[in-house]
Structure 1
Amino acid sequence: MGERIDEEISFRRLEVLLAFMEGGSLGKAAELLDVSTVSVHRALHSLEKGMRCKLFDHQGRQLIPTDAARALASTAREVLTAMSVGIRTAREVAGYSSSVLRLGSLYSLTLGTVPAIIAELKARGTELEVDLTLGSNTELIERLTQGTLDAALLAVPELGAEFQSIQLFEDEIYFAAPAGSRYADLESIDLQTCSHEPFVSLDEGFATYHGFHHAFHLAGATPTVIMTVGDVFSLTSLVSGGVGYTLLPGRVRGLLNDKVRFIPLSDRFRMKQKIGLIFSSIRERDPTLLKLGVACRAIARARSRNQTGS
């Protein structure tokens, strides 16, 4: 290991030195950096202290760089250039400001939300290639934590400080029954009256799975689940085939709508999911995620206007 560098010698102070050498005065350096003259003078003084050698001669109020200052500036220019390349490379490896957006989504959101966001990105001239990963809430949050996804569209859970979210919409949860069943023409469903029926469900880890069991907990009943599946499309097909009943979010009402009825839950069992985009807080300034955030907010506003109008 080489000689340790004094903590007074920082990248920022080397940038100040280069600005001073380029501008030729404290005032010009301050203009280039958009800071005060006092800040420039303090930075140069700290740099000289850390170097433990004279970098400037004083002629009245003027600072005259020494040969030592010129030698340091030459090396600083190389170091800062190399560091800029290193930062850019590290960000590319981490997916920061990448041309590829690694987006996670619930299966159910591929019906309308994901295509709408991609269309909005293209309409805004954002040239991003979207690499889409589908999974449950739990799987997507794990991938975000591991850094293998840039952002995810899901049912927003309680978030700690490590994540941020942008809400897109709230989605109602319905009782799903085959067309022609005894429940198909009801205006609402009291889960206590149907808890004895056979049910099908999503696997554990999906937000709808937890909502399903919470609703029956409120009803004071334990549903008989005869089958679980890993995606909402298979689940809807099982309902249409008469295998069992389930609870489904309203966003999938377009699936098999001639074979499956979506019936509102009675007031005390009503549930809504908050659907949104979540991403790591440390990447809130990532240009790629800023573009995605703008698109998501535009989709949310358009949806809100449509709901208000209807």
Structure 2
Amino acid sequence: MRNRINEEITLRKLEVLLAYMETGNLAKAAEALDVSTVSVHRALHSLEEGMRCALFRHEGRNLLPTEAAHVLADVATDVIKAMADGIRATRQAAGYSADHMKIGSLYSLTIRTVPDVVIGIKVRRPELQAELVLGSNADLLFKLKQGAIDAALMAMPEPDPEIESIALFEDEIYFAAPADSPYARQASIDLRQCRDEPFVTLSEGFITYQGFMDAFRIADFTPNVVMKVGDIFSLMNLVSGGVGYALLPGRVRDVFAHKVTLVPLSSQYRLRQTIGLSFLRRRERDPNLLALAAVCRLAMRVPS
């Protein structure tokens, strides 16, 4: 059978004991704990009753700690520290208001969106350490559900009872061509005119790959994909090097502006991506995620 602790012995009273032992004065202990002097005196007396031994001896109006009080104070220090560590570990295991947050992001959002968000969250919660995890939409959604990341800046996923998503901004898909390509001088691109052209694209799982496939489904032909890559910056390098054409979101327009031109697609092919912040619904009241959501809304007033 477990040892039962007298109900008069509580963590709060142990905190009062430690405050008194540190200050040696009822009034100072009360000030440190933001309670009345009477409350401190009652707590110490109640501890003595719970311990069933004297913790203090009276000398005039002063309470002098006995050896027993020093022993209990040493134990109380360990107990309170262990409890504080346990509370912190429990909350971290639940992903709730930890001092470290992993934010997932699409590669394309690291150009402007992510820096704005990271700076904003640092200003709002200076004690919070943010870690960035990059990946495709599919990767980020999987990691989010597994608890490997706390939130993700990505294209809005399909409705899911586990996921809460906040739409931030919309972005259009463009035809990407080398700056010196004849296509770069056109007002818009009809994909059917590009039937014989080589294309490069992101790997499956990226939302831009899905947009790529949707556009060519509308054009009613299968594009000649000569290479797939795992990040959007490598993809733009391939376009600028003349390896193939691509379909890219407008948010990357300024990355290789002197080498790659983004041309609007003809109206029948125009597609838009909705970028948002997603996190697990069961954590919607987490103060860190509430702060992150507020920062994202503020940063996204002007689409990145």
Q: TM-score, normalised by structure 2?
A: 0.71
Q: TM-score, normalised by structure 1?
A: 0.69
Distance 1:131 1:139 in 2: 16
What is the 5 A alignment of 1:138-157?
A: 138-157=138-157
SS of equivalent to 1:210: helix
Distance 1:195 1:145 in 2: 39
Q: Which moved more, 1:106-115 or 1:153-162?
A: 153-162
Match of 1:105 in 2: 105
Residue 125 of structure 1, CA deviation: 4.5
What is the 5 A alignment of 1:55-70?
A: none
Distance 2:168 2:283 in 1: 20
Residue 241 of structure 1, CA deviation: 0.3
Cα deviation digits, residues 64-123 of structure 1 (max 9, x gap): xxxxxx99xxxxxxxxx9998755422123332111111110000000000001121233
Question: Could you tell me which amino acid in structure 2 is paired with residue 152 of structure 1?
Answer: A
Cα deviation digits, residues 114-151 of structure 1 (max 9, x gap): 00011212333543211111000000001001101000
Cα deviation digits, residues 129-183 of structure 1 (max 9, x gap): 1111100000000100110100001011212111001111100100000111120
What is the 5 A alignment of 1:281-300?
A: 281-300=281-300
Distance 2:84 2:159 in 1: 33
Match of 1:303 in 2: 302
Match of 1:279 in 2: 279
SS of equivalent to 1:161: coil
Distance 1:292 1:126 in 2: 12
Distance 1:86 1:118 in 2: 29
Alignment of 1:206 onto 2:225: no
Match of 1:269 in 2: 269
Alignment of 1:172 onto 2:172: yes
> Aligned residues, how many?
230
Question: Could you tell me which amino acid in structure 2 is paired with residue 130 of structure 1?
Answer: A
Q: Alignment identity in percent? A: 54
Distance 1:195 1:252 in 2: 25
Alpha-carbon contact 1:106-1:136 (below 8 Å) kept: yes
Residue 294 of structure 1, CA deviation: 1.0
Question: Could you tell me which amino acid in structure 2 is paired with residue 169 of structure 1?
Answer: F
Distance 1:298 1:126 in 2: 17
Which segments of structure 1 move beyond 3 Å, counting only runs of 4 or more?
A: 81-88
Match of 1:228 in 2: 228
SS of equivalent to 2:185: coil
Distance 1:127 1:253 in 2: 34
Match of 1:45 in 2: none
SS of equivalent to 2:177: strand
Residue 195 of structure 1, CA deviation: 2.2
